[in-house]
Chains A and B, each alone.
Chain A
């Protein structure tokens, strides 16, 4: 079965950096584009970034120039490098795979930006 497991979250000070990981299993990771989506506490879903199977990338305006999505197909792992963090980046971060007729989500990882 498809499984996505995020890790790397935690408490970080404003202006600092953090790197999230998403370990994928149960499918041929290298063949699929992947997304990061976040959800601030008590708020709605907010799409963050996408990386294609060929490593092309797209970012939401709010995170462009600060976040970097990448992948390591040999390790079946998706990454999100978060730089210059702001309090408004506090959220649960989900990795997800969107197919034409289905979607798969991880359980999410919490990132808290606070001094």
Chain B
């Protein structure tokens, strides 16, 4: 099974900061990588698909990138509404795997 190693688990940051969350895949997953945002008591929301594509309605301060087996989600200038949990998901195989999650919180 493909393992997704996500870091950091917690990310204290200030409004206006540029922040980056990373997932490393244990095997080649191509660009079959999505990023989700989840706020307390809510269902997850798709932010990035295909490793680098912005989902519909997602602000342009969010971006996704890939370097080899490392995938990153970057927020260029943090806003208060971005405080949430973030998860990566690989869908290269039918057996999907999520990263362990990153809690983005105000410093």
Residues of A whose CB lies within 8 Å of any CB of B are 35, 44-47, 50, 58-61, 94, 98, 100-103, 105-108
Task: Report if A107-B96 is in contact (Cβ < 8 Å); known contacts: A98-B91, A101-B56, A102-B56.
Answer: no
A61 touches B49 (CB 8 A): no
Q: Is B30 an interface residue (CB 8 A)?
A: no
The docked-state distance in angstroms from the alpha carbon of A56 to that of B38 is 29
Q: Is the interface of A mostly helix, strand, loop or mixed?
A: strand
Task: Report if A100-B49 is in contact (Cβ < 8 Å); known contacts: A105-B44, A106-B43.
Answer: yes
Q: Is B3 an interface residue (CB 8 A)?
A: no
The winner among A47, A60, A61, A106 for most chain B CB atoms within 10 A is: A47
A60: min CB distance to chain B, Å: 7
B98 touches A45 (CB 8 A): yes
Range, interface on chain B: 20 to 34
Residues 37-51 of chain B, each 1 if its beta carbon lies under 8 Å from chain A, else 0: 010000110100110
The 10 closest A-B pairs by CB, nearest first: A105-B43, A44-B101, A47-B96, A58-B94, A103-B46, A45-B98, A45-B87, A44-B100, A58-B95, A101-B49
The winner among A45, A94, A106 for most chain B CB atoms within 10 A is: A45
Task: Report if A50-B98 is in contact (Cβ < 8 Å); known contacts: A101-B53, A103-B46, A107-B43.
Answer: no
Q: What are 10 A-to-B residue pairs whose CB atoms are below 8 Å?
A: A44-B87, A44-B99, A44-B101, A45-B38, A50-B94, A58-B94, A59-B95, A100-B49, A100-B50, A101-B50
Q: Which residues of B contact A94 (CB under 8 A)?
A: 43
Q: Which residues of B contact A58 (CB under 8 A)?
A: 94-95
Q: Which residues of B contact A50 (CB under 8 A)?
A: 94, 96
A61 touches B55 (CB 8 A): no
The docked-state distance in angstroms from the alpha carbon of A46 to that of B100 is 9
